[in-house]
Amino acid sequence: MAMLEVNDLHVSYGAIKAVQGVSFKLDKGEIVALIGSNGAGKSTILRTISGLERAKSGSILLEGTELTKLKAHKIVEQGIAHVPEGRRVFPGLTVTENLRMGANLIKNKAEISAEMEKIFDIFPRLKEREKQQAGTLSGGEQQMLALGRALMTEGKLLMLDEPSMGLAPIIVEEIFEIIKKINAEGTSILLIEQNAFLALNTASHAYVLETGKITMQGSSQELLNDERVKAAYLGA
Stretch that binds another protein, among 79-87, 122-130, 165-173, 188-196 (CB under 8 A): 79-87
Nearer to another protein, 129 or 149 (CB): 149
Q: What would the DSSP string read from start to end of the chain?
A: --SEEEEEEEEEETTEEEEEEEEEEE-TT-EEEEE--TTSSHHHHHHHHTTSS--SEEEEEETTEE-TTS-HHHHHHHTEEEE-TT----TTSBHHHHHHHHTTT---HHHHHHHHHHHHHH-HHHHHTTTSBGGGS-HHHHHHHHHHHHHHTT-SEEEEE-TTTT--HHHHHHHHHHHHHHHHTT-EEEEEES-HHHHHHH-SEEEEEETTEEEEEEEHHHHHH-HHHIIIII--
Stretch that binds another protein, among 14-22, 30-38, 96-104, 193-201 (CB under 8 A): 96-104
Our finding on whether 108 is near another protein (CB under 8 A) is no
Query: Exactly one of 7, 10, 63, 90 binds another protein (CB under 8 A); which one?
Result: 90
Our finding on whether 56 is near another protein (CB under 8 A) is no
Our finding on whether 96 is near another protein (CB under 8 A) is no
Our finding on whether 131 is near another protein (CB under 8 A) is no
Our finding on whether 195 is near another protein (CB under 8 A) is no
CB of 199 to another protein, least distance (A): 22
